[in-house]
């Protein structure tokens, strides 16, 4: 089975700190995604990456950046954490192939970030 | 802009009932639709994926149907069990990303 691992289950940071959230997948997937999940708002896409060194903005990229130096690792960076970035962060990956339509998305277990 | 809605937001049923969860979407130009399960404080687990050319998919006690023309999908859970208690989310694959609904929180009591 595909394994998507997020480095921290819970994280507490202070306003203004630089925060790194790490995600690693072990199935050589090309596509990787970062979502945040908030009550009443559902999952919202922050950034995604088609391949190494490639990145695309999602629906809410403000205040975030990403890094994909290696295929298996996709990092989400909060340059200067703010209280409104307190949320559950979910990483996901997906293989791509000739038949794009039948590829499932696999999620990590999430990182609950609290910014004080 | 694609919007995905799930009704009801919450559902509480006794064990053994057959259930239908609903998902509707506004733009029928989708590649596929996925149903996920999320346990409290955890990540999402993919349950079923229906390609746009398919009408339904089945896995064990789960059956998902897709009607693109009406912008609807249903997840049918047969003979519900307490272990089915979780939040169920549907997501449609539009162009290059998944758009999620806000989920249905299901509780199955013994």
CB contact under 8 A, B100 and A43: yes
User: What is the model's pLDDT at position B17?
Assistant: 96
A43 touches chain B (CB under 8 A): yes
Helices (H), B1-110: none
User: What is the model's pLDDT at position B6?
Assistant: 95
Q: How many residues does chain A have?
A: 116
Regions of chain A where pLDDT drops below 70: 1-2, 97-102
A102 touches chain B (CB under 8 A): yes
CB contact under 8 A, B44 and A107: yes
A-chain CB neighbours of B98 within 8 Å are 33, 45, 105
Q: What is the pLDDT along chain B (110 residues), one digit of tens a residue?
A: 889 999 999 999 999 999 999 999 999 888 889 999 999 888 899 999 998 889 999 999 999 999 999 999 999 999 999 999 999 999 998 766 788 998 999 999 99
User: What is the model's pLDDT at position A85?
Assistant: 98
To the nearest 5 percent, what fractions of chain A are helix, strand and coil? 5, 50, 45
User: What is the model's pLDDT at position B23?
Assistant: 97
Size of interface A-B (CB pairs under 8 A): 55
């Amino acid at each position: 089975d595909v394994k998507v691992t997020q480095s921290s289950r819970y994280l507490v940071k202070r306003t203004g700190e630089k925060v790194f959230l790490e995600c690693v997948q072990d199935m050589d997937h090309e596509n990787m995604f970062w979502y945040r999940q908030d009550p009443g708002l559902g999952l919202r896409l922050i950034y995604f990456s088609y391949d190494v060194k490639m990145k695309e903005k999602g629906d809410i990229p403000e205040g975030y950046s990403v890094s994909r130096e290696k295929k298996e690792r996709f990092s989400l960076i909060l340059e200067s954490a703010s209280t409104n970035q307190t949320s559950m962060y979910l990483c996901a990956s997906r293989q791509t192939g000739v038949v794009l339509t039948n590829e499932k998305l696999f999620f990590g277990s999430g990182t609950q970030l609290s910014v004080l | 802009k694609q919007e995905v809605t799930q009704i009801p937001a919450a559902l509480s049923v006794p064990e053994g009932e057959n259930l239908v969860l609903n998902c509707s979407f506004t733009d029928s130009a989708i590649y596929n639709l996925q149903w996920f399960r999320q346990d409290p404080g955890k990540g999402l687990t993919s349950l079923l994926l229906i390609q746009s050319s398919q009408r339904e998919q089945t896995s064990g006690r789960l059956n998902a149907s897709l009607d693109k023309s009406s912008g609807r999908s249903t997840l049918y859970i047969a003979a519900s069990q307490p272990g089915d208690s979780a939040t169920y989310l549907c997501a449609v694959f539009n162009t290059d990303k998944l758009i999620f609904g806000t989920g249905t929180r299901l509780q199955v009591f013994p």
